A = this chain, B = another copy of it.
Amino acid sequence: MVNAGKPGPGRTGRPRAGEERLSRQTILEAALRIVDTEGIEAMTMRRLASTLGVNPMSIYHHLPNKAAVFAGLAELVFAELESSPPDDSIRWQDELKGAAAAYRDALRAHPNLALQVLSDTSAVSDVVVVTVEPFYRALDRAGAKPRQIFEAVNTIIDFIHGFTLGEASVRSDTFELAPDLLTRVATLPPGKAPTLVRVVSELGTEGLAYDFNDGFTTGIAVLVAGIESQLGL
């Protein structure tokens, strides 16, 4: 933060040698903080400049436009993904599950940014490539053929993206689906969705809270089981 929150006019011209200067890095860090604490719609160029204590137009010397700022943030998110080192002592199934959990955690660390990250392919493409290595490693170890690996990884990644999307648009880790889902299902046009109505009502008699962590684990387990079965193991 160079001169944060300052309202008055600043000196014009290039800053002197020793003086603190703007940089792509500090800009992106400030932007990430805004997104994390105030939400994505609060991240305007003027707001960003103001927290940096800088004129809005100064940012454009380091990043070409607002889209580039978000693209940079998407990079940051994936750069934070810590891939565990190869470990042949565990089952490939568990290596796969671990990679999935790590990938999800990276996306989940900045929920306000999730939607932006998931939809900005231009930014993701360059960095995301490396992040799939653990998935490839595990499936290669499982003896899958290149095409099988490719398709399986795509499927897992797509599931994680969809799951994260749902998770990011709610709030907490667990939320009560009982009143919400039950009443909504109850007020459905009578004959519209009989199976749904019956199954949900039976669900209501047992546990009723939905836990995202459980949901994720279960989903990945289904995928791994499916891959296993298709590999004929």
Contact = CB atoms under 8 A, between A and B. Distances in A.
Which of A166, A184, A227 has the most chain B CB within a 10 Å cutoff? A166
Given A147-B206, A226-B223, A184 B215 contact: no
A110 interface: no
7 contacts: A121-B169, A133-B194, A146-B206, A155-B159, A162-B163, A222-B227, A225-B225
- Which of A150, A194, A226 has the largest number of chain B CB atoms within 10 A? A226
Interface stretch (A7-15, A70-78, A123-131): A123-131
Given A192-B133, A196-B133, A206-B147, A229 B225 contact: yes
Contacts of A150: 199-200, 203
A132 B215 CA distance: 17
A194 B141 CA distance: 13
Given A155-B159, A158-B162, A162-B157, A195 B140 contact: yes
Contacts of A188: 129-130
> Chain copies in the assembly?
2
A169 B206 CA distance: 40
Contacts of A219: 151, 154-155, 158
Interface residues of A, number: 61
A115 interface: yes
Contacts of A17: none
B195 A151 contact: no
Contact of A158 (B163, B202, B221): B163
Interface string A208-233: 00000001001101111111111000
Contact of A165 (B151, B161, B196, B199): B161
